[in-house]
Structure 1
Amino acid sequence: MRWQVVGLTLFLLLVLGAAKSRHGSRRGHRTYRRYTPDWTSLDARPLPAWYDEAKFGVFVHWGVYSVPAWGSEWFWWHWKGEHQVLYELFMRNNYPPGFSYADFGPQFTATFFDPEHWADLFRAAGARYVVLTTKHHEGFTNWPSPVSWNWNSQDVGPHRDLVGELGTALRKRNMSYGLYHSLLEWFHPLYLLDKKNGFKTQYFVSSKTMPELYDLVNRYKPDLIWSDGEWECPDTYWNSTNFLAWLYNDSPVKDRVVVNDRWGQNCSCHHGGFYNCQDKYMPGSLPNHKWEMCTSIDKSSWGYRRNMVMASIASEEEIISELVQAVSLGGNYLLNIGPTKDGVIVPIFQERLLAVGNWLSINGEAIYASKPWRVQADKNSTSVWYTSKGPDVYAILLQWPENGVLSLASPTTTSTTEVKMLGLKGNLKWSKDPVQGLLISLPLLAPSDFPVKYAWTLKLTGVE
């Protein structure tokens, strides 16, 4: 009888243990579930925490369009799709008759591409993740895609696996790696055939788009997939929900991977892990879903342009102001640069990235892993944006008050309230005014003695 009781006890323990391993314990273990290929199920997946905590990333647009390096990364479409006169004149004046877009391929050399240098620069910029274009709408792949014969970086031009090399360098530095991938290709014969058939056929999807996405995930195990090129077709044409169900259920990155919202017509700002909504999107108020602002240092292009001028380059102040506003509104900020065909990140782009890194080295406490506060912009002035972390509140000041006294209407002070400026020692003096709210006496210092030139962060403790 005693052995029967022991046996029954062991049996029950094994059953309970198996159930716990399948369903997770109540003490924080992951509860596993299967996602079905529909948006109701897929949109219910929790966003992996690393992405929201990262806040700042670098976007890299690099491809064959970096060879003509004129106009924009849409060069081929403007030239041969729309037959824009300026592009046709550019080709006529600079290249011999009969020169095709494919002839640019061998000139995409990546001669000076040093992934270690790139990764060091991106880390010095304070970026926690990097998103590289694996394939833009031109169809050229920056890795040896098995379904892009003679139109990839291994067969043509660099004769290197650009996606793999950068990923290796980033992961040495514990940075997350995202892969941009265009679903469509402007001039691929099978895509044009599907378009002619009213997208009732899926020759292009089954032989090109999906094989590439599965290959990218299995080969490089990305932390993020930044999808694009979705706008001409519904998600049912792209088989997006089937791919995402596999990605979330069975892929090698199922627990960590994050995706955006560009998976078919009408998906943007409605379906996906985080929302881009549109290029350079900045909401007017706090959204109820995680989002990302993607923008470019060169305001007129995502890819490198030889005819770039300073008037089109975002200033350090503009970039940092956008970063602050995006994070205050619960978003991430993805800042783009376009390397040259040789793999050089030109000095003006390096300077802007390093300026962000210098600012974050002082003020990162208010950015990384922060959360939106109950108020995002102060009622007294829209030049003050708030973030929070635990009980601490951060007020980031984009404009310096003329009298040196900052008025904040939103924080409620307590007997334990203290105010500090990140990068300086000691507390700042403050007082409470029944009309103007919290009045903070800002430091009287020479400009060179301040930790940063603009976007100064005040850390408020003991406020409500």
Structure 2
Amino acid sequence: MKSWAVETQILLQLLVLGAAKSALGAQRLYTPDWPSLDSRPLPDWFDEAKFGVFVHWGVFSVPAWGSEWFWWHWKGEGSLPYQLFMRENYPPGFSYADFGPQFTARFFDPDDWAKLFQAAGAKYVVLTTKHHEGFTNWPSPVSWNWNSKDVGPHRDLVGELGTAIRKRNIRYGLYHSLFEWFHPLYQLDKKNGFKTQYFVTAKTMPELYDLVNRYKPDLIWSDGDWEAPDGYWNSTGFLSWLYNDSPVKDEVVVNDRWGFNCSCRHGGYYNCADKFQPSSLPDHKWEMCTSVDKWSWGYRRTMSISDTASESEIIAELVQTVSLGGNYLLNIGPTKDGLIVPIFQERLLAIGKWLRVNGEAIYSSKPWRVQLEKNESVWYTSEGAAVYAIFLKWPENGVLSLKSPQTTSSTQIIMLGIQEDLEWSKSPHEDLLIHLPQLPPSALPSEFAWTIKMTGVE
């Protein structure tokens, strides 16, 4: 019986191998090198999504002071303001680990979060699974007693939010830091000039594989890459598995932070740098990540209204980013209790309100042949036969002047949110003059950033 079973198993393996070989022509395999990995087409959903919400949440949300880099500024740099903050607010001998039990997430309601993100018009959400402090927001098997199941919330935060997000057909992305400031194995590898990989083998890679197999993310937002090359991180090996064999191989999207030599060069889409914003149309899909709080990604108790980006600033950035072919990922930082404070809610709801009127010019759009009318603060997008001109300033004379669109005998022009055709004419210099609706500000479809839809233009 044993011999028959072994022979049967070998035969089955040969059949599987033969089937795999015959399928090679139909299914391209990605080898663990950048030329092969970079040749993978980006799944369509990401470019169509355009707008996502970033969530920075972790033990750093407990001190909620300075920034999410609190531990590094306090102990890594020995920054005097951070030392004074600890001396004035916590007892002697208080360690960063002592913040862990205070990260309670007591009021965290994943369905409330998901409803808010849906109302904001977000098509994807990226949650911090582990920042540089090493605390994991899921029960990582290689982060004993420094994860959200063992300490603090005693909950699987990554899993709970993922379930709520996906119920609303929003894509789910996971932020993951490759490195950890004070992990002894990482410090050893660093001391060895990254010639050893104790930390990668014991911590980074087991966690990445666990996150993919457990939660099946649509996106992996890698970070913490800047101290070591991709070869140290085994990045190409992981991405080869991700693209070929993982449960999300056909739909998953990744960014470009896989080693200090990768940013803006290798990976899926490009982040290039925090708050990166190109001045002209890039030739590769990119994403601008920025934060409502201009000074921090994590929640700060001392944040004031003047520290936050206004609704008009955020929408202008969104419009500019999409016009230049990018996605816009806007960050908020919840409190240690799991609450999203009102100012963040207000900003997100304002974007959702604007997108309900103007989203046709944003979602699934493509850059037009011209991106910007510089004199008029007008940004262009396109979708099929339609060209959209989004203008950020209402002209004083009520007439929008555009140099770029060429009209035809079939030209039709409307403003999104107002279905009546708009009158238009040509200036002596052949500029297109669009006569805007004569309405009081309260009757306009948007408070700022209005969209003209043109068909039959070249």
TM-score by length of 2: 0.95
Quick one: distance in 2 between partners of 1:227 and 1:54?
19
| Residue 283 of structure 2 corresponds to residue 288 of structure 1 | yes
Quick one: distance in 1 between partners of 2:233 and 2:111?
35
Alpha-carbon shift at residue 20 of structure 1 (Å): 13
User: What one-letter code is carried by the residue in structure 2 that aligns with 1:413?
Assistant: T
Partner of 1:88: 83
Match of 1:297 among 271, 292, 295: 292
Per-residue CA deviation, residues 168-192 of structure 1 (Å, 9 max, x unaligned), is 0011111100000000000000000
Partner of 1:61: 56
Match of 1:203 among 184, 194, 198: 198
Contact 1:47–1:258 (8 Å) recurs in 2: yes
User: What one-letter code is carried by the residue in structure 1 that aligns with 2:200?
Assistant: V
Partner of 1:101: 96
User: What one-letter code is carried by the residue in structure 1 that aligns with 2:446?
Assistant: V
Q: Secondary structure at the match of 1:294?
A: strand
Equivalent positions of 1:64-463 (< 5 A) are: 64-381=59-376, 383-435=377-429, 437-463=431-457
User: What one-letter code is carried by the residue in structure 2 that aligns with 1:428?
Assistant: L
User: What one-letter code is carried by the residue in structure 2 that aligns with 1:184?
Assistant: F
Q: Secondary structure at the match of 1:459?
A: strand
Give aligned-pair identity as a percent: 79
Alpha-carbon shift at residue 433 of structure 1 (Å): 1.9
Alpha-carbon shift at residue 37 of structure 1 (Å): 0.4
Alpha-carbon shift at residue 434 of structure 1 (Å): 3.9
User: What one-letter code is carried by the residue in structure 2 that aligns with 1:76?
Assistant: W
User: What one-letter code is carried by the residue in structure 1 that aligns with 2:366?
Assistant: K
Alpha-carbon shift at residue 379 of structure 1 (Å): 4.8
Partner of 2:39: 44
Contact 1:379–1:410 (8 Å) recurs in 2: no
Alpha-carbon shift at residue 435 of structure 1 (Å): 1.3
Unaligned runs of 5+ in 1: 1-17, 25-30
Quick one: distance in 1 between partners of 2:197 and 2:261?
19
User: What one-letter code is carried by the residue in structure 2 that aligns with 1:442?
Assistant: L
Large movers: runs of 4+ above 4 Å: 18-21
Quick one: distance in 2 between partners of 1:263 and 1:20?
30
Q: Secondary structure at the match of 2:128?
A: strand
User: What one-letter code is carried by the residue in structure 2 that aligns with 1:218?
Assistant: N
Quick one: distance in 2 between partners of 1:104 and 1:144?
18
Q: Secondary structure at the match of 2:433?
A: strand
Quick one: distance in 2 between partners of 1:424 and 1:260?
38
User: What one-letter code is carried by the residue in structure 2 that aligns with 1:443?
Assistant: P
Partner of 2:4: none
Quick one: distance in 2 between partners of 1:189 and 1:440?
64
Contact 1:330–1:372 (8 Å) recurs in 2: yes
Per-residue CA deviation, residues 404-462 of structure 1 (Å, 9 max, x unaligned), is 11100000000011110000120110001241510001111011100110000000010
User: What one-letter code is carried by the residue in structure 1 that aligns with 2:262?
Assistant: C
Partner of 1:11: none
Partner of 1:13: none
Contact 1:144–1:155 (8 Å) recurs in 2: yes
Contact 1:407–1:436 (8 Å) recurs in 2: no
User: What one-letter code is carried by the residue in structure 1 that aligns with 2:365?
Assistant: S
Q: Secondary structure at the match of 1:425?
A: strand
Partner of 1:28: none
Quick one: distance in 1 between partners of 2:164 and 2:154?
18
Instruction: Provide closer, same or farther for how the CA distance between residues 436 and 306 of structure 1 changes in structure 2, counting only shifts above 3 A.
Output: farther
Partner of 1:15: none
Alpha-carbon shift at residue 75 of structure 1 (Å): 0.1
Quick one: distance in 2 between partners of 1:263 and 1:91?
34
Alpha-carbon shift at residue 23 of structure 1 (Å): 6.3
Aligned length: 440
Quick one: distance in 1 between partners of 2:308 and 2:21?
55
User: What one-letter code is carried by the residue in structure 2 that aligns with 1:281?
Assistant: F
Contact 1:261–1:272 (8 Å) recurs in 2: yes
Alpha-carbon shift at residue 108 of structure 1 (Å): 0.0
User: What one-letter code is carried by the residue in structure 1 that aligns with 2:162?
Assistant: G
Per-residue CA deviation, residues 248-273 of structure 1 (Å, 9 max, x unaligned), is 00000000000000000120000011
Contact 1:380–1:408 (8 Å) recurs in 2: no
Quick one: distance in 2 between partners of 1:85 and 1:434?
65
Per-residue CA deviation, residues 13-45 of structure 1 (Å, 9 max, x unaligned), is xxxxx8999368xxxxxx420000000000000
Quick one: distance in 1 between partners of 2:444 and 2:23?
55
User: What one-letter code is carried by the residue in structure 2 that aligns with 1:52?
Assistant: D
Contact 1:408–1:436 (8 Å) recurs in 2: no
User: What one-letter code is carried by the residue in structure 2 that aligns with 1:423?
Assistant: G
Unaligned runs of 5+ in 2: 1-18
Partner of 1:22: 23
Per-residue CA deviation, residues 178-223 of structure 1 (Å, 9 max, x unaligned), is 0000000000000000011111000000000000000000000000
RMSD of the alignment, in Å? 1.2
Of 183-192 and 432-441, the range deviating more from structure 2: 432-441
Contact 1:380–1:409 (8 Å) recurs in 2: no
Quick one: distance in 2 between partners of 1:86 and 1:93?
10
